[in-house]
Structure 1
Amino acid sequence: MELGISTFVETTPDVKSGHVISHAERLREVVEEIVLADQVGLDVFGVGEHHREDFAASSPAVVLAAAATQTKNIRLTSAVTVLSSADPVRVYQDFATLDGLSNGRAEIMAGRGSFIESFPLFGYDLRDYEELFEEKLDLLLTLQKSENVTWSGKHRPAIENVSVYPRPVQDPLPIWIGSGGNQESVVRAGLLGLPLVLAIIGGSPLHFAPLVQLYKQAAKHAGHDENKLKVASHSHGFVAQDTETAADLFFPSTAVVMNKLGRERGWSPYTRETFDAARSLNGALYVGDPQTVAEKILHLRKNVGVTRFMLHVPVGTMPHDQVMNAIELFGKEVAPRVREDVAKWEAEQG
């Protein structure tokens, strides 16, 4: 069971002072967070790609590269790379470069993206949303498999017998598929035999169990060994020494972000009642003291089948020292509990 952190490098107004941290300062903070996550023994750190004022990381590979030479063991991944509006050749080169700098710790998490700002920015038509992702994923996987590439498609100039460099340390460079829970996306990942990341940020995580089974069935149908498949969860959460403190610290900025997105997307208002309900055992928020968070992750492992869990923190702008404390507790207290409990449970399963 792998444990890690993900972030969107948010720069929303501070809920108390209204101060907005600069993109530059927040980027430097995130590098410190990655270094700490490595020091406390976490397995992976993910940085999401966005192209709007309230998120500072438009280029996850650059942010991760800033931490690569300051870390030793932690894996470094996008969360996600919006592949539909990117050039797969440049994506592959960027992460192969990151792989070299980190000596084989880079990963790509490819997704369609739930934010659409990158499409007009890079000149793509949203009407081609699905087609763009399928075509560009095909090219990215072609690059993963071969140094010398010949490829053609509809939305990008063809490549004829061209070699792509640098080559990564890992062969192949890992590519995960990010999904919000769409059946088509999990089937696609299964048929391709690619590891799957599920964004479980609302409702009951247990509702994702049938999607994991669908993913494994698709993989088995395509001839892949379902026992070797990896499934990750990306979920909002926060850790403090006691559960109520964790909730009180995490709610204000979370509510600001969720209500802002809710106004953009037509969601219902996000209230403290909504937040507290999601903190229950079957809810999608992993907020509490180390024991509470560890128990929820084990519950997810047993009932959904995830093999990697990524705690998304912060949601909205929180004081840097609070985020660093949450990461330290997650690495030093939550992760050891989860690993021990999962090992015992798997031994009981035979």
Structure 2
Amino acid sequence: MEIGISTFVETTPDPQTGEVISHAQRIREVVEEIVLADQVGLDVYGVGEHHRIDYAASAPAVILAAAAAQTQRIRLTSAVTVLSSDDPVRVFQDFATLDGISNGRAEIMAGRGSFIESFPLFGYDLDNYDELFDEKLELLLKIRESEKVTWKGGHRPAINNLGVYPRPVQNPLPVWIGSGGNQESVVRAGLLGLPLVLAIIGGSPVQFAPLVELYKKAARHAGHDASQLPVASHSHGFISESTELAAEKFFPSTQQVMNVLGRERGWGPYTRSTFDTARSPEGALYVGDPETVAQKIIHLRKQVGITRFMLHVPVGTMPHEDVMKAIELLGTEVAPRVREEISQWEAESQ
């Protein structure tokens, strides 16, 4: 069971003061957070790509590369790379470079993206949303399979027997498929035999169990060994010394961000009642003391089959020292409890 962190490098207004830190400051803080995550024994850190004023990570591979030079063990991934509006050649080159700097710790998490700002920014038509992803994923996988590439598609100039460099340390360079729970994307990942990441940020996580089974069924249908394919989850959460303190610290920034997105997407208001329901034992928020969060992760593994858990923290702007403390607790207290109990459970199940 792998345990890690994901972030969108948010620079939203502080919910208490209204102040907004600079993109540069938040980027530097995230590098410090990745270094700490490595030091406390976490397995993976993911940085998500966005192209708007309240998110500072338009180039995740650059941020991860800055941390790669200061870390030893932790795996470094995008979360996600918006592949539909990017060039697969450049994506591969960036992460192969990161793989070299980190000596084999880079991963790509490819997704279509729930934020669409990158499409007009790079000149892509949203009417081609699905077609762009399918085509560019095909090219990305072709590049990782072969040094020399011959390829032709409908939205990018053809490549005729050209080399793509540098080559990564890992062969193949890991490529995960990120999904918000769409059945089509889950089946696609299974048929391709690619690891799957599910964004479980609402409702009951147990409801995702049928999607995991659908993914494995598709993998088996395509001749892949489904038992060897990892499944990850990405969920919002926060850890503090007590569950009450964790909730009080995490609610203001979470409410602010969710209400901004809600106004953009037509959701209802995000209230304290919404928050408290989500952090209940069956909800999708992983907020509490180390024991509370550990038990929710264990439940997710046993009921849904998740083999990698990524805690998304912070949501919105929180004090850097609070985020660092949450990362420390995840690595030193939550992760050991989860790994020990899952190890015992698997041994008893055999």
TM-score, length-normalised on structure 1?
A: 1.00
| Aligned partner of residue 150 in structure 2, secondary structure | strand
Cα shift readout 1:216-242 (whole Å, capped 9, x = no counterpart):
000000000011011000000000000
Per-residue deviation, residues 89-148 of structure 1 (Å, max 9, x unmatched): 000000000000000000000000000000000000000000000000000000110001
Matches of 1:156 and 1:197 in 2, distance apart? Answer: 27
* 1:19 aligned partner: 19
CA distance in 1, matches of 2:203, 2:59: 30
Residue aligning to 1:190: 190
Q: Look up the equivalent residue of 1:263 and give its one-letter code.
A: R
Aligned length: 350
In 2, Cα distance between the equivalents of 1:345 and 1:284?
23
Question: In the alignment, residue 4 of structure 1 is paired with which amino acid?
Answer: G
Please say if 1:235 is aligned against 2:274.
no
SS in 1 for 2:232: strand
Shift of 1:161: 0.3
Deviations 1:225-272 (A, max 9, x none): 011011000000000000000000000000000000000000011000
Q: What is residue 71 of structure 2 aligned with on the other side?
A: 71
SS in structure 2 of the partner of residue 41 of structure 1: coil
Q: Secondary structure at the match of 2:282?
A: coil
Quote the residue 1:334 is aligned against: 334
Determine the structure 2 residue equivalent to 1:29.
29
Counterpart in 2 of 1:343? 343
Corresponding residue of 1:215: 215
Name the SS for the 2:12 alignment partner: coil
Shift of 1:151: 0.4
CA deviation after TM superposition for structure 1 residue 280, in Å: 1.1
CA distance in 2, matches of 1:144, 1:163: 11
Which deviations, in whole Å up to 9, do the C-alpha atoms of 1:291-336 show, x marking residues without a partner? 0000000000000000000000000000000000000000000000
Report SS of the residue matched to 1:171.
coil
Give the alignment of 1:90-239 within 5 angstroms. 90-239=90-239
In structure 2, the gaps of 5 or more residues are none
Structure 1 segments, 4+ long, off by >4 Å, are none
CA distance in structure 2 between the aligned counterparts of 1:85 and 1:162, rounded to whole angstroms? 22
Once residues 172 and 20 of structure 2 are traced to their aligned partners in structure 1, the CA distance between those partners, rounded to angstroms, is 41
RMSD: 0.3
The aligned runs of 1:295-314 (5 Å cut-off) are 295-314=295-314
Partner Cα separation in structure 2 for residue 136 and residue 349 of structure 1: 40
How many angstroms apart in 2 are the aligned matches of 1:112 and 1:273? Answer: 31
Q: What SS does structure 2 have at the residue aligned with 1:42?
A: coil
Q: Secondary structure at the match of 1:31?
A: helix
1:31-76 Cα shifts (integer Å, max 9, x gaps): 0000000000000000000000000000000000000010000000
- Please report how far the alpha carbon of residue 205 of structure 1 lies from its aligned counterpart in structure 2 after TM superposition: 0.3
Cα distance in 2, alignment partners of residues 16 and 218 from structure 1: 48
Q: Counterparts of 1:296 and 1:284 in 2: how far apart (Å)?
A: 9
Structure 1: unaligned runs, 5 residues or longer: none
